[in-house]
Chain A
């Protein structure tokens, strides 16, 4: 009897060890081409403007479209994406274990994640910062007034750590109300369980729309952290990382040269600018050297438009979230978006 129980215990512990050990087969890029589909980890579908699952079952939003852009670059078709909704606390483990090829779900690039998780950030697609969403009725106008407040935050995020840092630095006390999904935080904020909800400002703007009366809530002006958000890949396939990184660059280069969803096909055929010819695959072997078709940039821009079109459609002035582009504009216009030349 006793021996039996010990054995059961050992077996149970053993199966716990087995779980994360699922091996990653071969380089990611080959696997994607082989199955003709990109497995892309996105948020659970309620992040308005970033990855939203609408009532028709379609994924829309900036991050969902970024997945489509990558699929278009590799497979020539932006529809070949298998969207995998992931809660934040499961996202990195899912990527590490190989159940998704990449993440496009508002993951902040930090040094410890970069070095310890064996993951790579393939650039930054949104430069964001952490803020606070409060009800107008509370009369709070600055983050400095939040001493003693209860603050809703998503577990396991950088925002949870920044929050602790901010209150520690300013010698204020607070109670974190930590839950695993932003929806719960929004419900908590709405029922006044917490005084403020903290997240990236972009996220706050989109989650604010999920409130039953968005106009009675406001985002404080204080931004307490840098939140560089970008696509995340595993370290096992350098080539795939390059493809994702250049997809991000392609969106920016297209905006720089005025290439849009509408004119990209025509531009590819007629342009005489050397760099544009190289970019759009009319000259040179740039796509082939990346391990993808030479017209990758054309397919990408046809799928999502350039960075400006993509942002304005999903998060900016043409969307419900209506977020100002802020620093997410081209370097030539005083923003932070900059891409290396195609040469």
Chain B
């Protein structure tokens, strides 16, 4: 670096000296870069043109028709679970939408649960308590080194099928029932006036948010700093209880073949959620541990020497530095989780792959259209996640130097 002539202005901004002749870059012909890009685009376009004609020719040779018209046709089959209103007369387009939403639902939910569990296990891995560390190590090593499919099948066949049959469901307080046909729990009675309850719910959440905003931020904790937080939590919790009490809950009641009323979680969904959570949490725990251990222990000791409390040290000194290291591999893990949610088809949960790439493809025979649409959904999800992570990475990366 000795030959690079640079200077520092009085404002502390490094600038290069314009007069240095050796610093002037060799002038490149502007069209060289353009030609490169044009060649790249032409190559991609040629590849697409080749694929396009190949498909058209082969389809024609087989006498098959293409097109997306089938999306407006009636699908004629039912789905065991969907977030939007579905019936046998819904179109394939709606089946696609329901499938995408189901995939987002299972992937989103297990992303949250896996992260929470992963954080807990990750912190346990580096904790000072030996039994805790040991338990976390056993968990990580046992789950990380087994195929996820195995965990999924184990959870479904051993854990959930061994629950009692629906007629002999385990009752918890006459409100929640466990059986191998599903987990049943109370749900707000439809058609009631929920304005008061919703108001209390919103106010209660606001109370909790206030508690978060008013949380003590001092490096050294003093009891009176907690007063506002405790008040916020108390008011929030009371309002939430009021919200719950203000709702007429519909309890599941066994009638005929199944429980009626209330809400039900399919065992297939539970199995997938559990398997995705358990498996991915083991990897996330390792990412968390790596992040935490990457922070020089000297910093923690120095902070303790200053009398800072442990929570503050973790939150303001360790985590910000650890996160910078954790986010890229964490994104990888999330992408894996989203794609692995397609194992739904193994247990029989109607996700995008099961209802669209499976049933719809077989009923319509539109292999190319359906494969492309399904791939596009996963590409969008995973590339979107990648872009978010890259943006975050740019924001928090070390600047200057």
Contact = CB atoms under 8 A, between A and B. Distances in A.
Nearest to B365: A117
A19 B369 CA distance: 12
Given A14-B51, A178-B348, A160 B165 contact: no
Given A14-B47, A160-B77, A184-B348, A23 B363 contact: no
A164 B76 contact: yes
B51 A178 contact: no
A1 B391 CA distance: 12
Contact of A192 (B55, B76, B180, B390): B180
Main secondary structure of the interface of A (DSSP, over half): helix
B317 interface: no
Contact of B62 (A12, A17, A96, A188): A96
Interface string A187-198: 110011101000
Interface string B72-96: 0000111110000000110000000
B19 to A, nearest CB: 34
Nearest to B346: A180
A9 B379 contact: yes
Contact of A234 (B62, B89, B161, B390): B62
A14 B367 contact: no
Contacts of A116: 64-65, 364-365
A20 B77 contact: no
A148 B44 contact: no
Contacts, number: 156
B55 A21 contact: yes
Interface in B339-391: 345-348, 350, 354, 358-359, 361-365, 367-368, 371-372, 375-376, 379, 383, 386-387, 390
Contact of A174 (B62, B78, B267): B78
A16 B362 contact: no
Interface stretch (A86-94, A206-214, A243-251, A261-269): A86-94
B49 to A, nearest CB: 11
A295 B368 CA distance: 42
Interface stretch (A39-47, A60-68, A149-157, A278-286): A149-157
A320 interface: no
B212 interface: no
B299 interface: no
B63 to A, nearest CB: 4
Given A155-B358, A165-B88, A236-B61, A7 B76 contact: no
B310 interface: no
Contact of B64 (A12, A88, A118, A179): A118
Contacts of B383: 5, 9
A235 interface: yes
Nearest to A97: B367
B62 to A, nearest CB: 5
A187 B52 CA distance: 43
B80 A176 contact: yes
Contact of A88 (B161, B258, B362, B386): B362
A147 to B, nearest CB: 7
B294 interface: no
Given A18-B51, A175-B80, A23 B58 contact: yes
B134 interface: no
Given A5-B386, A24-B62, A191-B161, A148 B363 contact: no
B257 interface: yes
A324 interface: no
B379 A21 contact: no
Contacts of B376: 13
A161 interface: yes
Nearest to B157: A187
A10 interface: yes
A92 B44 contact: no
B181 interface: yes
A4 B47 CA distance: 17
A168 interface: yes
A177 B264 CA distance: 14
B377 to A, nearest CB: 12
Contacts of B350: 178
B290 interface: no
Nearest to B166: A192
B142 interface: no
A133 to B, nearest CB: 15
A136 interface: no
B54 interface: yes
A42 B348 CA distance: 23
A113 interface: yes
B226 interface: no
Contacts of A1: 390
Contacts of B88: 164-165, 167-168
Given A21-B58, A165-B88, A179-B348, A148 B80 contact: no
Contact of B375 (A13, A89, A168, A178): A13
Given A17-B55, A17-B372, A147 B61 contact: no
Contacts of B62: 24, 96, 118, 234-236
Interface string A31-59: 00000000000000000000000000000
B48 interface: yes
Interface in B69-123: 76-80, 88-89
Interface centre among B44, B52, B62, B63 (most CB of A within 10 A): B62
A1 B258 CA distance: 54
Interface centre among A118, A156, A174, A193 (most CB of B within 10 A): A193
A93 B372 contact: no
B348 A177 contact: yes
Contacts of A148: 255-258, 260
A150 B165 CA distance: 13
Interface string A74-107: 0000000000000011001100100000000000
Given A22-B58, A89-B362, A187-B161, 7 more contacts: A13-B379, A14-B47, A150-B258, A161-B363, A184-B348, A188-B348, A235-B63
8 contacts: A14-B51, A146-B257, A148-B260, A155-B362, A177-B268, A178-B80, A180-B348, A180-B358
